[in-house]
Amino acid sequence: MNNEKIEQILNEHQGQPGALIKVLMEIQEENHWLPREVLVQVSEKLEVPLSRVLRIATIYKTFSLTPKGRYQVNICTGTACQVRGAQQVLEEVQKLTGIKPGETGPDMKFSLETVNCQGCCSLGPLVEIDGKTHGKTAPAEIADALKKYE
Amino acid sequence: MPRINSAAELEELRKDILAQKDPDKTCISVCAGIACLGSGNAQVISAFEEEIKKQSLDAKVDLIATGCHGFCEKGPIVVIYPEEICYLEVTPEDVPEIVSKTVIGKKVIDRLIYTDPNTGIKAAHQTEIPFYKNQSRLLIGNSPKINPKSIDDYLAIGGYSALSKALFEMTPEGVLDEIKKANLRGRGGGGFPAGSKWETTRNAQPGVEKYVIVNAHEGEPGAFMDRALFTGNPHLILEGLIIGAYAIGSHQGFIYTRHDTPVLRKNLDLALAQAKEYGLLGDNILGSGFSFNVDVHLDVGIFVSGESSALMRSIEGMPPEPRPKYIRTSVTGIWDRPSNLNNVETWANVPQIINQGYEWYSSIGTERSKGTKLISLSGNIVNSGVVEVPMGTSLREIVFDFGGGIPNGKKLKAIHFGGPMGGTIPESLIDTPLDFDELSKQGASLGAGDMLVLDEDTCMVEMARLFLDFLAGESCGKCVPCREGMRQMLKILTNMTQGEGKDGDIKLLEEISGVVGEAALCSLGRSIQKPLISMLKYFRDEFEAHIKEKRCPANACKELK
């Protein structure tokens, strides 16, 4: 965790309750998850009750309250990807990684999420691994793609 | 960059920009829309950069990464101007050949141009490709030609002339009148007349600060046209917004968009900064005395925050919970002040209406639905992508002429509009025109313009289930009909797809739908049953087969095969 960077984000928005979502988002982007002690700091710095910080942090899917693996695997389950076979791809990834959407493996290698439409339906079914897009994925190809990550 | 202080100075600057542009200079336009980037266009762009350097062509060739060209299925797309040669499915390996043969040698590379899959006829220019040929690309047509990161490119195609006209030649009432007469209807889903909405906000709570908002949330699965337009031409929407603010009497605007489209965020931030520097945004715009500022707010992952009142709560920094619909946000919105919200495409229509007049605008489209509409095509269709057609175009044309039909020799079964809050119409109604009211009559509202094409292998019970499954994770949970109703409907439909449907299930589904439609708090809650109701209307026998015969007519439900 880069404390210095988090502190910088907090200092920029000290005493600005309206910046709550923005601050949480910046910390999430920087740290990939929101530890409880950081949420307490956010509450104090922005002068927002901790209950409201937790409410915001738990309603939005982007925020994670648990640590994430080294590689984020996102599987689009938007309708266009669904009609093109996203479910089969998801089942294959679950089988290969042993984790379900929302989980991180005990080796902290992969975190798996299903995501809503990413807006590139021509590439469906769509899988993103560590920020890299894999389009028109067949379940058979996904094993090869996952193998590349250590 | 100089600050522009009058309409005359704006025209002067435009002249300077145009004088510096050589229309015969080669420009390589590489599509950097989401789909093209996803299929590797970043590498194509770097390959061009490298090759241009290697061949010392820096001074002779411009290279721009543009917004979405629309033909996503055939991406990555590269267009070479001024000849307008269009290459499809380009890989980084093709780049040296494109530079030597086309850029230097002015020859067309046959293997990279469009080939009609049915006739084998080749087409080298965008205007000859069937996908583009009959579109009316009034809004998105400029995207392949301009660099979205350059305000000068937007000024070169006449940008901000409508703003200048509105500020110096028209009164706010005049602008409002023009939009009302043009009968511009909201593109976000409701189809509500934008002019009436503006007028309500303008007249509400005299003396109180008013707000204008761009809804660029676009959370519906299968909807990607707003992102395409906003990323590719951010100044167009910004210009529309400033004109709207002038008409309404607002000095503060908000843009609400998704956090997970980094290119859009970057282009938008840049556009706002450039507009500010030129004096097109901020205090005393173009020296007119009118001041207007814009803040950007981001959704971080929940569908309900695209609902207008939830979106406004979110801008206040509160959880995105909607308010009852009888509280009109145009009167009592952000911090209980009058707030006018329109979606990206609605704002994008404003500059052309101001520039060319309501008579021109209302000559396009049908009697009650004017102008063009952006449609994002997805699902079981040959050409997924963004098309722009006049209102009134038949769905058949959209699916078969632009969309190229259904892949793998399958038959069309249904078309679904408007995502999880929309409706489905069967193949038999394919000659219905694209029109707010005609589609509503058939039980499918146009929505934001996302068209999901479904082939004969699609199980409608499973589709209805998928939409509810999506929504179940997106409801804010505040009101019981939406939260619990959805859970029960989802359970019944899941049972059906697993061979555990019971007699009376359909009736129960209809009863719950009735309650949810009447009693849920917001427009999201009151629309969750719409896909199901339309599917029950047209595909009831499929639901019955799942219950009575434990059979899936489309052979899609695994447990029933």
- Whether residue B231 lies within 8 A of chain A, CB to CB, comes out as no
pLDDT category at B561 given cuts 50, 70, 90 is: low
pLDDT category at B431 given cuts 50, 70, 90 is: very high
Q: For the range B101-106, what are the long-range contacts, defined as Cβ-Cβ under 8 Å and sequence gap of 24 or more? A: B103/B26, B103/B28, B103/B57, B103/B61, B104/B55, B104/B57
Q: Which of B316, B383, B466 sits opposite A82 (nearest CB)?
A: B466
A141 plus A86 within the same structural domain: yes
The pLDDT of residue B333: 95
Cross-chain Cβ contact A59/B320 below 8 Å = yes
DSSP states of B238-264 as a string?
HHHHHHHHHHHT-SEEEEEEETT-HHH
- Whether residue B384 lies within 8 A of chain A, CB to CB, comes out as yes
For residue A80, the chain B residues in CB contact (below 8 A) are: 221-222, 378-379, 384, 452
Distance of alpha carbon B245 from alpha carbon A133, whole angstroms: 39
The whole-chain average pLDDT of chain B stands at: 94
A133 plus A89 within the same structural domain: yes
Q: Does domain B460-560 have CATH number 1.20.1440.230?
A: yes
**Chain B nearest CA to A2, separation (Å):** 22
Distance of alpha carbon B4 from alpha carbon B275, whole angstroms: 10
**CATH number of the domain where residue A124 is located:** 3.40.30.10
The pLDDT of residue B426: 96
Query: Could you give the count of Cα atoms lying within 13 Å of B515 in the half-sphere of its Cβ?
Result: 15
A118 plus A88 within the same structural domain: yes
Percentage of chain B exceeding pLDDT 70:
100
A20 plus A81 within the same structural domain: no
The pLDDT of residue B1: 66
Cross-chain Cβ contact A79/B467 below 8 Å = yes
- Asked if the model's pLDDT at residue B328 lies above 70, the reply is yes
The pLDDT of residue B62: 95
Report the pLDDT averaged over residues B85-104. 95
In a domain, A79, yes or no: yes
Exposed, middle or buried, B429 (CB in 10 Å: 0-12/13-18/19+)?
middle
- Whether residue B466 lies within 8 A of chain A, CB to CB, comes out as yes
In a domain, A66, yes or no: no
**Chain B nearest CA to A132, separation (Å):** 8
- Asked if the model's pLDDT at residue A18 lies above 90, the reply is no
The pLDDT of residue B302: 84
Domain residues of chain B, as ranges?
A: 20-145, 159-361, 372-455, 460-560
For residue A135, the chain B residues in CB contact (below 8 A) are: 35, 38-39
A104 plus A126 within the same structural domain: yes
Q: Report yes or no: A126 and A134 within 8 Å, Cβ to Cβ.
A: yes
CATH fold group of domain B20-145 = Glutaredoxin (3.40.30)
- Asked if the model's pLDDT at residue B70 lies above 70, the reply is yes
Distance of alpha carbon B208 from alpha carbon B277, whole angstroms: 28
Distance of alpha carbon B198 from alpha carbon B205, whole angstroms: 13
- How distant, in Å, are the alpha carbons of A27, A129, B259, B325, B369 from that of A69? 17, 12, 21, 42, 50
Cross-chain Cβ contact A121/B301 below 8 Å = no
Q: Which of A82, A118, A123 sits opposite B39 (nearest CB)?
A: A123
A106 plus A138 within the same structural domain: yes
In a domain, A101, yes or no: yes
ipTM of the complex: 0.89
For residue A33, the chain B residues in CB contact (below 8 A) are: none
Cross-chain Cβ contact B378/A133 below 8 Å = no
A78 plus A102 within the same structural domain: yes
**Sign of the alpha-carbon torsion through A11, A16, A20, A22:** negative
What is the second-level CATH architecture of the domain B159-361?
A: 3-Layer(aba) Sandwich (3.40)
> B294 has which bridge partners?
B253
DSSP states of B376-392 as a string?
EEEES-SS-EEEEEETT
What's the CATH number for B372-455?
Answer: 3.10.20.600
Q: Residue B152 is which amino acid? A: D
Q: Report yes or no: B145 and B29 within 8 Å, Cβ to Cβ.
A: yes
A13 plus A39 within the same structural domain: yes
Cross-chain Cβ contact B317/A84 below 8 Å = no
**Chain B nearest CA to A74, separation (Å):** 12
Distance of alpha carbon A2 from alpha carbon A35, whole angstroms: 12
**Chain B nearest CA to A25, separation (Å):** 7
A139 plus A86 within the same structural domain: yes
For residue A129, the chain B residues in CB contact (below 8 A) are: none
Cross-chain Cβ contact A122/B73 below 8 Å = yes
Q: Which residues 276-335 in chain B show a CB within 8 A of chain A?
A: 297-303, 314, 316-317, 319-320
- Asked if the model's pLDDT at residue B522 lies above 90, the reply is no
Q: What angle do the packed helices A3-12 and A36-46 form, to 10 degrees?
A: 20
Range of the domain at A15: 3-59
Total number of domains constituting chain A: 2
Cross-chain Cβ contact B380/A83 below 8 Å = yes
In a domain, A111, yes or no: yes
Angle at B183 between CA B179 and CA B184, to 5 degrees: 70
Give per-residue pLDDT as tens, B441-475: 998 888 899 999 999 999 999 999 999 998 988 88
Q: Which of B35, B222, B320 sits opposite A79 (nearest CB)?
A: B222
In a domain, A10, yes or no: yes
For residue B256, the chain A residues in CB contact (below 8 A) are: none
Give per-residue pLDDT as tens, B179-219: 999 999 999 888 999 999 999 999 999 999 999 999 999 98
The pLDDT of residue A1: 67
Cross-chain Cβ contact A22/B298 below 8 Å = yes
pLDDT category at B335 given cuts 50, 70, 90 is: very high
Cross-chain Cβ contact B223/A82 below 8 Å = no
The pLDDT of residue B301: 81
pTM above 0.90, yes or no: yes
Report the pLDDT averaged over residues B247-252. 98
**Chain B nearest CA to A150, separation (Å):** 23
A122 plus A100 within the same structural domain: yes
A22 plus A90 within the same structural domain: no
Distance of alpha carbon B456 from alpha carbon B411, whole angstroms: 6
- Asked if the model's pLDDT at residue B253 lies above 70, the reply is yes
Q: Which of B224, B228, B452 sits opposite A79 (nearest CB)?
A: B452
- Asked if the model's pLDDT at residue B325 lies above 90, the reply is no
Torsion, CA A92, CA A97, CA A102, CA A108, rounded to 10: -160
In a domain, A130, yes or no: yes
**Chain B nearest CA to A103, separation (Å):** 16
Q: Which of B314, B319, B379 sits opposite A80 (nearest CB)?
A: B379
Find the residue in A nearest to B476 (Cα): A59
- Whether residue B262 lies within 8 A of chain A, CB to CB, comes out as no
In a domain, A33, yes or no: yes
